C-alpha cells in the first residue's frame, strides 16, 4: 500500500493546495462487485449486469461498472493517498462536478489519483476542502471518472 501524503493538521491544509497527493493501489472492479452494486442501488441496466448481452450489443464489448460505483470507491482509496492528522470528524459534503469520460470494464483495475484544489475556513477551526479525484483505468487512455469532491474536516 502506498504511503499517503500526511497533512499534519486541519490548519495546515492550505499549504497543500495545488499539490498532487499521490496515487492509490490498483484495485480490480469485478463483475461480482458490479452485480452487488446493482442489487444495492436497483440499477440493473443490462450494460452492467447482463454479461452475454453486453458482449453482443454494447459498444464496449462487455459489461461496464456503474459510474456511481466508480466514484463510490473514493472512501476506500482516498486514505491511501491523503491523511489529515488531528481530525475529530470528516464529513463527505458531496460533489461539485463529476464526469465519466471512459468506461470501467468488468475485471479492469482502477486507481485513484488526487490533488488538493481548494480550502476554505469554516467556523470553529474547520475546513471545507475540494479534492480533485481522478480514477484511472490501467492501460486506458482517458480517466474513467474525474470529480471535485467536497469534504469538511473538523479539528
Which tens digits make up the pLDDT trace of 128-148? 999 999 999 999 999 999 999
d(CA 13, CA 7): 6
pLDDT digits (tens, 9 = 90+) for 54-78: 999 999 999 999 999 999 999 999 9
Task: Assess whether pLDDT exceeds 90 at residue 1.
Answer: no
Report the CATH number that the domain containing residue 146 is assigned in CATH: 3.10.129.10
| Entry pTM | 0.94
Instruction: Express as a percent the part of the chain with pLDDT over 90.
Output: 97
Q: Which domain holds residue 55?
A: 5-154
- Considering its fold, how many domains does the chain have in total? 1
**Is the pLDDT confidence value at 52 over 90?**
yes
- What secondary structure, in 3-state letters, does 70-127 show? HHHCHHHHHHHHEEECCCCEEEEEEEEEEECCCCCECCCEEEEEEEEEEEEECHHHCE
For 129, counting Cβ atoms within 10 Å of its Cβ (0-12 exposed, 13-18 middle, 19+ buried), the class is buried
Amino acid at each position: 500500500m502506498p504511503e499517503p501524503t500526511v497533512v499534519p493538521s486541519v490548519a495546515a491544509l492550505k499549504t497543500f493546495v495545488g499539490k498532487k497527493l499521490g496515487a492509490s493501489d490498483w484495485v480490480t472492479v469485478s463483475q461480482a462487485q458490479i452485480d452487488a452494486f446493482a442489487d444495492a442501488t436497483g440499477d440493473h441496466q443490462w450494460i452492467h449486469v447482463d454479461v452475454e448481452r453486453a458482449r453482443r450489443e454494447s459498444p464496449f464489448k462487455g459489461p461496464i461498472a456503474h459510474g456511481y460505483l466508480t466514484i463510490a470507491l473514493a472512501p476506500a482509496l482516498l486514505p491511501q493517498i491523503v491523511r489529515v492528522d488531528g481530525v475529530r470528524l470528516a464529513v463527505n459534503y458531496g460533489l461539485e462536478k463529476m464526469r465519466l469520460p471512459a468506461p470501467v470494464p468488468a475485471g479492469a483495475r482502477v486507481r485513484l489519483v488526487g490533488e488538493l484544489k481548494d480550502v476554505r475556513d469554516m467556523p470553529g477551526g474547520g475546513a471545507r476542502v475540494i479534492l480533485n479525484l481522478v480514477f484511472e483505468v490501467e492501460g486506458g487512455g482517458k480517466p474513467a471518472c474525474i470529480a471535485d469532491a467536497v469534504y469538511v474536516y473538523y479539528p
